[in-house]
Amino acid sequence: MQTEEILGVLQDSDGAPLSFKYRGASYLVSSRPVRWYSRKLWWESAEAAPRGIGSAVMETEMWRLWAGCGEIVAFFEIRHQLPQDTWVVQEVQ
């Protein structure tokens, strides 16, 4: 599965995305994002977990939301990767 990093993610006080940049365009979230946690394939990305970050190695924060850029509105599934604090698009419809 190919993913693309998104930049400039602005979040509310609960950590939900409010806006972000994707493929050079600025998107504004137009729905209430839905959060859940998914298990990572930790054995593909880490040889051993550093002490104290066990849950960050095992789980990843996921969000589903609608976001728009001008006339374009799309459904996004994005992943917030911790502890790196990076965001990637998992799927766009």
**19 has pLDDT over 90:** yes
pLDDT, tens only, 28-51: 999 999 999 987 665 555 555 556
DSSP 26-38: EEEE-S--EEEEE
Ramachandran area for residue 85 (φ above 0: left; ψ -120 to 50: alpha; else beta): left
The token pair at 50 is 């550093």
**Which regions of 12-85 does DSSP assign to beta strands (E)?**
17-22, 25-29, 34-39, 59-69, 72-81
**93 has pLDDT over 80:** yes
Between 35 and 56, the higher pLDDT residue: 35
Between 40 and 21, the higher pLDDT residue: 21
What local confidence, expressed as pLDDT, does residue 82 receive? 80
86 touches 59 (CB < 8 A): no
What local confidence, expressed as pLDDT, does residue 65 receive? 97
